[in-house]
């Protein structure tokens, strides 16, 4: 799911992986991407990493740590619950995150994965 200002309907799996790997930093319209994730050990994070991004959570952690501690990138923002995820993504321009289907309502903009 994304913040409505991003104005993207869909995204390729490849671009989505690059976004969550923190390599791509801007949406096609130039807006800065703000990535929100749950904790490494969270089940939804685990499933999202494996099923949607096709990488293991430990690989994402290694990628983020390499970026942060070499200064060549930044880490995503960690949220502690799905409720917080919802609030952050809806209120932060440029935000992208993931959420369980049970939380989906009309206020949320869903990004389709091509």
Partner 1 sequence: MCCFLKTIIRLIIYILLIWNGAVYAQKTIDEADNKSIVASVTDWVATTGMLDTFQLQGFANQAFISTSDNDVFGNSDKGGSFGFTEVGLNASMRPLPRLQLSAQGLYRRAGKGSSANPRLDFAFADYRLYSHETNQFGMRVGRLKNPFGFYNETRDVAFTRPSILLPQSIYFDRTRNLGLSSDAIHLYADSSQSNLGSFSVIFGIGNPIVDDRDTEAAIVGLGRTGNLTSNVSYIGRGIYETNDGRIRLAVSGSSTKVDYKPGGIDDLLGSGSVRFSPILFSAQYNTERWSLTSEYALRFFTIKDFNPSEFSNRDFVGESFYFQGEYRFNQKWEALLRYDVLFADRSDRKGKRLARSTGLPAHTQFAKDLTVGLRWNVTPKIMIRAEYHRINGTGWLSRLDNPDILDTSKNWNLFAAQLSYRF
12 binds partner 1 (CB under 8 A): yes
Minimum separation from the CB atom of position 104 to partner 1 (A): 26
Tell which residue, 94, 93, 111, 83, has the closest CA to residue 15.
111
Cα angle for residues 49, 2, 114 (degrees, 5° grid): 60
The contact pattern for partner 1, residues 29-58, with x = CB under 8 A and - = no contact, is -xxx-x----xxx------------xxx-x
Query: How far, in Å, are 9, 37, 70, 71 from residue 108 at the CA level?
Result: 12, 16, 35, 33
Binding site for partner 1 (CB under 8 A): 12-15, 17-18, 23-26, 28, 30-32, 34, 39-41, 54-56, 58-59, 62-63, 65-66, 68-75, 92-94
């Amino acid at each position: 799911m994304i913040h409505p200002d991003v104005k993207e309907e869909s995204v390729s799996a490849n671009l989505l992986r690059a976004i969550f790997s923190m390599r791509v930093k801007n949406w096609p319209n130039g807006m800065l991407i703000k990535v929100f994730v749950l904790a490494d050990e969270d089940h939804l994070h685990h499933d999202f990493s494996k099923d949607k991004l096709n990488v293991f959570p430990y690989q994402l952690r290694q990628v983020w740590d390499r970026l942060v501690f070499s200064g060549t990138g930044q880490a995503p923002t960690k949220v502690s619950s799905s409720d917080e995820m919802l609030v952050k993504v809806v209120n932060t321009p440029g935000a992208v995150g993931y959420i369980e289907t049970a939380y989906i309502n009309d206020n949320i903009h869903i990004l389709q994965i091509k």
